[in-house]
Amino acid sequence: MAYRWKGDLRESDVTAEAAWLNRRQLMAGAAGLGLAGAAGGRAWAAPEELEPNTWEEITTYNNFYEFGTGKDDPADNAHMLTTSPWTVTIDGMVDRPGDYAFEDIMKKMTLEERIYRLRCVEAWSMVVPWTGFELADLLDLAGVQGGAKYVAFETAMRPDEMPGLSSPVLDWPYVEGLRLDEAVHPLTIMATGIYGRDIPNQNGAPLRLVVPWKYGFKSIKSVVRISLVEEQPPTSWNRYAPNEYGFYSNVNPQVDHPRWSQATERRIGGGLFAPRVPTPMFNGYGEEVASLYAGMDLAENF
């Protein structure tokens, strides 16, 4: 796999990337196919199609408003977040509601590598080699009850550890939501790592949602609560500007944001003069997810 080395990586970061790339090469060799390896041969993680961004890019250009609104604020400030111990409360319409310790969750989940495109609504994009488990498996642990139709998510709210909470940019805590069928779709994961290392705080440690066919803001970080509910839950960006950010927020190059086009995107790491590239419908995951929205008007349900 071709790989671009980037300038001033710290040695530990280079090691993480190098070890990860090495391991992939070994696995590819062993499989004789170049892709079966760690991702279990899932078509949506085929490495020859997606060249991941560097560790440096993925961990220093972030949106995590709890730590500030600048792209480098999360990398500067998120070390303040205590991520151990960590519990995720799973409640609402489940058979086994309660506080689930992060370590106990990890013991029961099957970790996989997933190389996904990440498309921010601001029209930049990256490719991230996540490690994580399917959200469906975590929901199974709690036992979803028949009447549940949506899943609501909440990020930690700790003013002492999150300097961004002092500005009322958003109504804290950050909340998000998915329809239940979106939540249990096999593409939907809870990520706990990047390049095979623990996920850094600025990317949403110790676990964050990743829904690759939706704009990045749906992929809520540092999750402390998951609630199974009957009604469509409120979401932070929809509350902030309902005409700009819908509940679905599926990546859609044909539906522009009111203030800018969504037809193309700027790939982070491409350099100052790199041409913008076309944004694919559902961020390239249409084959897997388009059926979830059959018969829906996607301009109306943006």
Ligand X SMILES: Nc1nc2c(c(=O)[nH]1)N[C@H]1C(S)=C(S)[C@@H](COP(=O)(O)O)O[C@H]1N2
Q: Return the number of the residue (77 or 219) whose C-beta is nearest ligand X.
A: 219
Indicate whether 64 belongs to the interface with ligand X (CB under 6 A).
Answer: yes
CA pair distance 263, 274, nearest whole angstrom:
16
- Residue 221 contacts which entry, Mo ion, ligand X, none (Cβ below 5-8 A, type-dependent): ligand X
Nearest alpha carbon to residue 249 among 279, 282, 215? 215
Indicate whether 174 belongs to the interface with ligand X (CB under 6 A).
Answer: yes
- Residue 203 contacts which entry, ligand X, Mo ion, none (Cβ below 5-8 A, type-dependent): ligand X
Nearest alpha carbon to residue 24 among 134, 114, 102, 100? 114
Q: Are 94 and 145 in contact (CB under 8 A)?
A: yes
Q: Return the number of the residue (63 or 134) whose C-beta is nearest ligand X.
A: 63
∠ at Cα 231 (170, 212), nearest 5°?
60
Residue 203 annotated as lining a ligand binding site: yes
CA pair distance 274, 276, nearest whole angstrom:
6
Nearest alpha carbon to residue 117 among 126, 107, 106? 126
Residue 62 annotated as lining a ligand binding site: yes
List binders of Mo ion among 187-216 (CB under 5 A): 216
CA pair distance 204, 81, nearest whole angstrom:
10
The 10 Å Cβ neighbour count of residue 178 is 25
- Residue 252 contacts which entry, ligand X, Mo ion, none (Cβ below 5-8 A, type-dependent): none
- Residue 219 contacts which entry, ligand X, Mo ion, none (Cβ below 5-8 A, type-dependent): ligand X
Indicate whether 195 belongs to the interface with ligand X (CB under 6 A).
Answer: no
Which range of residues in 7-15, 89-97, 120-128, 166-174 is near Mo ion by CB under 5 A? 120-128
∠ at Cα 125 (67, 20), nearest 5°?
85
Which range of residues in 62-70, 129-137, 225-233, 272-280 is near ligand X by CB under 6 A? 62-70
- Residue 201 contacts which entry, Mo ion, ligand X, none (Cβ below 5-8 A, type-dependent): none
Residue 219 annotated as lining a ligand binding site: yes
The whole-angstrom distance between residue 107's C-alpha and the CA centroid of its chain comes to 21
Indicate whether 62 belongs to the interface with ligand X (CB under 6 A).
Answer: yes
Q: Using the rule CB under 6 A, which residue among 17, 56, 66, 182 binds ligand X? A: 66
Q: Are 152 and 89 in contact (CB under 8 A)?
A: no
Collapsing DSSP states into helix, strand and coil, what is residue 48? coil
Residue 220 annotated as lining a ligand binding site: yes
Q: Using the rule CB under 6 A, which residue among 38, 75, 118, 178 binds ligand X? A: 118
Q: Count CA within 13 A, CB hemisphere, residue 135.
A: 33
Q: Using the rule CB under 6 A, which residue among 55, 65, 130, 213 binds ligand X? A: 65
Q: Is the peptide bond before 173 cis (omega within 30 degrees of 0)?
A: yes
**Where along the sequence are the contacts to ligand X (CB under 6 A)?**
62-66, 118, 120, 155, 174, 203, 216-217, 219-221
Q: Which residues are annotated as a binding site for Mo-molybdopterin?
A: 62, 65-66, 120, 155, 203, 208, 219-221
**Where along the sequence are the contacts to Mo ion (CB under 5 A)?**
63, 120, 216-217
